Structure 1
Amino acid sequence: MVAQTPQQRKANERFAKQESAKRGKGKILAKPKQTSRSPVSTGWLVILAFVVCGGFFLEFLGIIPKLWSAIVASFSRLML
């Protein structure tokens, strides 16, 4: 048996609808689409984001006091 192409499938569905309308039967229901799931779980994504962004975040937290002290020192020099 050879697999149908999407064009053949659509044509077959149209034909089936026309034939069922001739016979007075109800509409043919289409198959529900399958939802695709990520191969990587949410937990692993969180761990990966922490590893990638966590180092940057911790470095940024270490720089903030140095920046603050530099801003305060330059501001105090301007006031003198």
Structure 2
Amino acid sequence: MAQTPQQRAANARYARREEGKMGKPVEERVKRTKQDYKSPISKGWIIVLGFVLAGGAIFELLKLFF
């Protein structure tokens, strides 16, 4: 079966990408490290969310005892 123009273009892109990797060590090819990871939510919002969830529970417990 002959390749379609879309398949031919996709194969060419793949070949260029793989050719760029040749001869490089694995560490250099795999760029995902802990230093590169960035959380989608900032620390400030995590603190606010934690306060809302834990704070509400604490206030409810205080309401039961006092």
TM-score calculated relative to the size of structure 1: 0.42
TM-score calculated relative to the size of structure 2: 0.49
> Comparing both chains, which one has the higher relative contact order based on Cα–Cα distances under 8 Å and sequence gaps of 6 or more?
2
